[in-house]
């Protein structure tokens, strides 16, 4: 299956690598390809620059958010909490139509690294989810997979999806 992932952070990369190993075709989306490939320092979570990661995962394509959304038969949302709606807007609402959308995002602030408590971004989870759902309202089905508290690579394969869009 063709899968588009919006988000170049640790979650997007982890899912991309696993799905690619499972023989799915994967494209990760970013705001600006040149900027992302030019990064030379680890991100705030200590992940290596994207270019280094892609050298180890050369079958995973990199495109803009719109490229990845167009590419994917399934689209995974994996962007920083409060910018998720912006990423969807940049990807183009029309590119979600009729597709399965998997939401991994949370309205949490990881900007200081590891969170010590649930530092919300100013809106509640239901409001956050409604904002996302409004923008992808023509999807066939919206689902969330809980990747918390375990090995992301195995849990993506095992966790039962819910039948509606909800943050974890
Ligand atoms: N469901 C779960 O169990 C679970 C577990 C862990 C994390 N999460 C959630 O997964 C999501 C991804 O986490 P992460 O650490 O991998 O990534 P992240 O560092 O939170 O987000 C990185 C992505 O956000 C994009 N971004 C940053 N500012 C933006 C803006 N103004 N407009 C549009 N996009 C912007 C970046 O774009 P560029 O590529 O252009 O830089 C990048 O693709 C988060 O919401 C996190 O809370 C969920």
pTM of the model: 0.83
Q: Identify the residue with better confidence: 146 or 5.
A: 5
Q: Specify the ligand 1 atom closest to the Cα of 12.
A: 16
Q: How many domains does the chain have?
A: 1
CB 87 within 8 A of CB 65: yes
Judge contact between 33 and 66, C-beta under 8 A. no
In a domain, 165, yes or no: no
- Range of 50's domain? 2-158
131 vs 140, more confident: 131
CA 136 – ligand 1 centroid, Å:
18
What's the N-to-C CA distance of the chain in angstroms? 25
20 within 8 A of 5, measured Cβ to Cβ:
no
Residues with CB under 6 A from ligand 1: 7-12, 30-31, 36, 45, 78-81, 83, 86-87, 104-106, 108, 110, 146-148, 168
The answer to the question of residue 126 being in a domain is yes
Query: Does residue 30 fall inside a structural domain?
Result: yes
The residue nearest atom 17 of ligand 1, judged by CA position, is 9
The pLDDT score that the predictor gives to residue 45 is 82
Rounded to 10°, the helix 84-91/125-135 angle is: 0
CATH number of the domain enclosing 17: 3.40.50.720
Residue 61 included in any domain: yes
* Residue 109 scores a pLDDT above 60: yes
Reading phi first (left if > 0) and then psi (alpha if -120 to 50, else beta), residue 118 is in: beta
What is the atom index within ligand 1 of the atom nearest the CA of 147?
3
Q: How far is the CA of 104 from the centre of ligand 1 (A)?
A: 9
Q: Is the pLDDT of residue 157 over 70?
A: no
Range of lowest pLDDT (11-25, 99-113, 143-157): 143-157
Buried b / exposed e across 2-15, counting CB within 10 Å, b at 16+? Answer: ebbbbbbbbbbbbb
Reported as a single tens digit per residue, the pLDDT across 42-93 is: 988 899 999 999 999 999 999 999 999 999 999 999 998 778 889 999 999 8
């Amino acid at each position: 299956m063709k899968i588009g992932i919006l988000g170049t952070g640790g979650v997007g990369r982890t899912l991309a690598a696993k799905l690619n190993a499972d023989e799915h075709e994967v494209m990760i989306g970013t705001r600006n390809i040149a900027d992302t490939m030019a990064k030379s320092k680890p991100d705030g979570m200590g992940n290596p620059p994207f270019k280094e990661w892609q050298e180890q995962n050369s079958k995973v394509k990199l495109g803009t958010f719109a490229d990845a959304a167009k590419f994917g038969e399934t689209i995974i949302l994996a962007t920083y909490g409060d910018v998720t709606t912006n990423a969807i807007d940049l990807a183009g609402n029309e590119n979600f139509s009729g597709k399965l959308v998997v939401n991994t995002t949370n309205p949490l602030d990881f900007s200081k690294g590891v969170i010590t408590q649930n530092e919300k971004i100013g809106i509640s989870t239901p409001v956050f989810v409604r904002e996302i759902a409004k923008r992808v309202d023509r999807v066939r089905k919206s689902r969330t997979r809980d990747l918390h508290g375990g090995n992301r690579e195995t849990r993506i394969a095992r966790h039962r999806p819910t039948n509606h869009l909800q943050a974890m």
